[in-house]
Structure 1
Amino acid sequence: MVNLSVATFGGGCFWCIEAVVQHLKGIEALKSGFSGGFIKNPPYREVCTGRTGHAEVIQVSFNPDIISYHDLILIFMTSHDPTTLNRQGGDKGTQYRSIILYHDDTQKEIAEQVFEEVTSLYEDPLVTELKPFEVFYNAEEDHQNYFNNNQDTPYCEIVIDPKIQKLKKMYADKLA
């Protein structure tokens, strides 16, 4: 039996991060949702106001024998801009912040190590929030597997597809 690990992180719209991560080897399950805030079971429309404290995140169950937490976080940190506070592209607000919610001290240490590794890749300082995981709330079903279900929409073509192309170029050996 495979012993799976769980990771929770967000960097802008969860549709983007979900689309990138679901292409990786070793991903067993993935859900888009909300975490890091103070409102229980928030609906998407409420999270979009920025008043719930939640960030749009994904929660990933992965096989650490196939993809390490280190590689997962490295790919995450290079698939969005971790130097823009509460913003990714046209998406603005605290719900779009860059955040890693670690599940144990080992994940925290690995995330800090990856921060050190990627700092030199960016001109501006990293603003990715690093905090302990508390709770995850699933987003509504129409937000799950969004890119695969809506590839022809302008948002997917303009915003998400370039992230997928970058992933294929930088991490071809990690793709499923």
Structure 2
Amino acid sequence: MTKALTMLKAGLLVLMMATMAVPVMAVQPDEVLEDPALEDRARELSKGLRCLVCQNESIDESNAPLARELRIVVRERLVEGDSDDEVMDYLVERYGEFVLLKPRTDGWNMILWLSGPALFLIALGVGASYIRSRSKAAAPTEAALSDDEKKRLEELLNE
């Protein structure tokens, strides 16, 4: 009987831990749109928008008041008939590109995206040229002994 009770407790513990591991979405019931297609679009857009308070969470996951306001703005824009790109452009215009979890790779951002690999290639070139120049350099030689030094050395060795 105690073995069965222990197994039951273990099973309940595993079930409880499994349900706690599921990510909790912060969308409130009063935010959900009646049209399932619009709600799906709103959820997809929300997953790509950064919570400006939490900064490493999407607005879909964040419980911050500003994230709630952003979710509502997204849904309002979709109800008004905006396309997904128009909604994103509106939010970027209002909050800047920081609101995007994945920054755009066009315009001035292209410089940022390409500067890392470019600097890496430049560093490889500088390193390779340094190593090549070091291998071609003449090995340092020791200066020969002067006549006085040779004479003194012979005197020391003969003693």
Bigger radius of gyration, 1 or 2? Answer: 2
Q: Which has the higher contact order (CA 8 A, sep 6+)?
A: 1
Asked whether the two chains share a fold, i.e. TM above 0.5, the reply is no
Comparing both structures, which one devotes a greater share of its residues to helix? 2
TM-score by length of structure 1 reads: 0.25
Q: TM-score, normalised by structure 2?
A: 0.27
Bigger strand share: 1
